[in-house]
Chain A
């Protein structure tokens, strides 16, 4: 019997798990995929918005502002890089300037620092901003993170603090008796409380508990272009067009690691797992990004991807208690920025009154710092202790063999090529895995003690190697 089962190990589930791991509660996290943080949490813009945009009196407004504040603490504590680059919203004409001013009023009311910039000022800050831009509203406290870096830090700490994480276990059935019985294809688990953080499946999982649950999520797909990190200095801030009813628009983000992201567009799709890119969509991004920056040639792009976000029809987060079944669903933008505040809110509002748990002072698990950020002397010291720190497996991103091994054996374990890519970057660079993928597969096979044909790319059923002998004529 667990005190609490969390369904879903995305950014909300991992925040929840970490928050609960600082208490005396016993917690199980059930994740349907083999790889955690593999859906909404790994395909978004990675922005810690300040909270100027959401409508007054919404959970989004409240939790975004609070979340942005909590990120500073959390990133400092877990040593997760937070890039405090600031953002600008750009205006092209008088009408848009009026809208900027209205946003400024809203931001001032929420005590969010911001400042209007004229032509000269904004071009000094952003030499590659689009020629048509005439004014901009600067938000110096907007920041960026890599969502999965935060998620891995949270789940690794949670696991070290005793939270159990079971991957590849989709929840099939929920029964309510004196407690909840949650059944996956592997096993049944009992818990006094369930927190549904299942992202794209949020409404479906809610209906496992209450077949008449009325809310149907909307799925909004956003496509992105990614540049090589050699373009890192092209922009200095996150650059937005004016937000509309359809979202925050096609923006330019510099990621923590220096790649630029252009996107997302925003289209409703029927299938929550339709993460495909389209010719029209990529053309749309190419066209729209030109309203914000002077476009880069297509040849600079190293990757395209799309993310689907679960949106609630109410246009606000849905966080509600059905007699110890807590739904945390419809978490679209600014979900990432709000996530620590969402976990705090759920804990304070629903968990604490029921369990009144003891807070426990836990030792913090800090991810090893990448060698690529160390001095030569520091690296050399590590290599002298363990030669595998000297052997580089990924040239593009400068990642050593031992860093990959360390990632595989982190508290929450890494089992797939994509997991390694997110944790330590091999495959994220300009060769996109060309030089290193085979080595990563070899290491996963060796460290997890499985044959190479069983190594997963990301999800279950994504094994991809076939031994030549299997196709021999005589077999």
Chain B
């Protein structure tokens, strides 16, 4: 069996950033595996701009952001294979690969999970109605349009106000399709204000809050949808139902970290993030298996994905230098927090970057970090939104004070 020191699964932003950083730290034996016929991942189809503001201090389009990473990757001459699918990973870090050259296994010393996410589908959210053609996830429509040059419809309704949905509303309009409206089941949008303004307001596309689709109707093709307002329990109020004629429904109802492979390797998954449970080194419960990017938790900015890839590169180097992390202290989320990452803190870690998301919009709140009943940090936060991941670097002076547990809490006072 062929052996590789480090195998990175996925050649998107997370995998590329991790590979590049590892090579820049002098690691030679790296193999990156990509299932598509080019590197760059989902960014290749995200032709809009707005990427890279944090990392490169300029606004790039998705393909441009990808190209920067790919150019560096090529310059560093890191080995990679395209059109290669990982079929299985074992707890012992044996990786089964299928590619046009063959179907074989390799033994890795370190595996970096960077497989990204998949979109939630109609089946996941259970929209009743006919099973006619004309319902796609926004990302699929984006791929057809931006990569293949085809529209999936001419009169389109978008369910979900996540950024992909908003971006697609503008994109389809520029491609001369009619976007009839966007509905969001929550009382607030899940997209960035900038996208609400530049993708919807600019083109007079209405956004219906607290509204959902209760029925899709059509024989062979979607012919109409039924829109319904929802009450504060998100239950449709049937008296508000109205029918809207469209030929297409696009779903922008969230991403799910794609951890099918991780689960095969017995990596433990957090039911909140839907990604692996990791420690402050972003290592999973399987020693030597790390995770970064959307496979770990869903990001709203690619810059953060890249930075996570780089952080994993640091951790991998420490791991290879035989720094064993002895004690794992659980990190708990409390209050109106959707999740906190990492889920464990290693007492040997030299830094701790806390990432979290709130459960609902908060104009004012306090982030309280405590350990073993003692408050370490309490700081005021303003304008928190579920769609925006927050980060907090815990100052080094507090690291020594962590014992028993670490509680990250969002409180009102």
Contact = CB atoms under 8 A, between A and B. Distances in A.
Interface stretch (A148-156, A262-270, A389-397): A389-397
Interface in B172-193: 175-177
A230 B269 CA distance: 14
B21 to A, nearest CB: 26
List the 4 shortest-distance A-B pairs measured between CB atoms, nearest first.
Answer: A387-B100, A303-B123, A392-B85, A379-B103
A442 B98 CA distance: 21
Contact of A390 (B100, B137, B221): B100
B137 to A, nearest CB: 6
B209 to A, nearest CB: 21
B133 to A, nearest CB: 4
Chain B interface main SS type: mixed
B214 interface: yes
Contacts of A435: 118
Interface string B101-139: 111110000000000001101111010111101100101
B90 interface: no
A465 B220 contact: no
30 contacts: A230-B263, A275-B131, A276-B215, A279-B128, A279-B214, A371-B98, A376-B105, A379-B103, A380-B102, A383-B100, A387-B100, A387-B101, A391-B83, A395-B35, A396-B260, A398-B85, A433-B140, A438-B143, A438-B144, A438-B148, A458-B133, A460-B220, A464-B134, A464-B152, A465-B150, A465-B151, A465-B152, A466-B152, A471-B154, A472-B176
Contacts of A452: 148, 150
Contacts of A437: 140
A166 to B, nearest CB: 20
Contacts of A282: 126, 128
Interface stretch (A57-65, A207-215, A294-302): A294-302
A109 interface: no
Contact of A431 (B101, B102, B121): B121
Interface of A: 226, 230, 273, 275-279, 281-282, 298-299, 301-306, 371, 376, 379-380, 383-384, 387-388, 390-392, 395-396, 398, 400, 430-435, 437-438, 442, 452-453, 457-462, 464-469, 471-473
A278 B100 contact: no
Contact of B123 (A278, A301, A379, A438): A301
Interface string B216-244: 01011100000000000000100000000
Given A442-B148, A466-B152, 11 more contacts: A278-B215, A298-B126, A301-B124, A302-B121, A390-B98, A392-B98, A431-B118, A466-B150, A466-B154, A467-B150, A471-B177
A469 B260 CA distance: 38
Contacts of B148: 438, 442, 452, 465
B103 A466 contact: no
A432 B121 contact: yes
Nearest to A394: B85
Nearest to B83: A391
A273 B118 contact: no
B369 to A, nearest CB: 30
B140 A438 contact: yes
Nearest to A395: B85
Contacts of A303: 121-123
Interface residues of B, number: 52
Nearest to A466: B151
Nearest to A432: B121
Contacts of A276: 128-131, 215, 217
B96 interface: yes
A432 B122 CA distance: 9
A468 B124 contact: no
A299 B139 CA distance: 20
A419 to B, nearest CB: 13
A438 B143 CA distance: 8
A299 B100 contact: no
Nearest to A396: B260
A282 B123 CA distance: 12
Nearest to B105: A376
B124 A302 contact: yes
B153 interface: yes
B145 interface: yes
A472 B236 CA distance: 39
A343 to B, nearest CB: 29
A276 B126 CA distance: 12
Interface string B267-306: 0000000000000000000000000000000000000000
A79 to B, nearest CB: 22
B332 interface: no
A276 B127 CA distance: 10
Interface in B64-108: 83, 85, 87, 96, 98-105
B150 A391 contact: no
B26 interface: no
Interface in B146-163: 147-154
A468 B154 CA distance: 11
Contact of A432 (B123, B144, B151): B123
Nearest to A279: B128
Given A276-B129, A434-B119, A467 B149 contact: yes
B123 A226 contact: yes
Given A276-B128, A453-B150, A471-B175, A465 B144 contact: yes
B121 A277 contact: no
A400 B98 contact: yes
Given A304-B126, A462-B133, A465-B150, A471 B176 contact: yes
B103 A434 contact: no
A305 B216 CA distance: 13
Nearest to A297: B271
A376 B140 contact: no
A434 B104 CA distance: 26
A379 B98 contact: yes
Contacts of A462: 133, 220-221
A31 to B, nearest CB: 16
A305 B220 contact: no
A182 B401 CA distance: 87
Contacts of B139: 434
B221 A468 contact: no
A376 B96 contact: yes
A275 B130 contact: yes
Nearest to A227: B123
A132 B221 CA distance: 43
Contacts of A432: 121-123
Given A383-B98, A466-B154, A277 B119 contact: no
Contacts of A383: 98, 100-103
Contacts of A279: 128, 214, 236
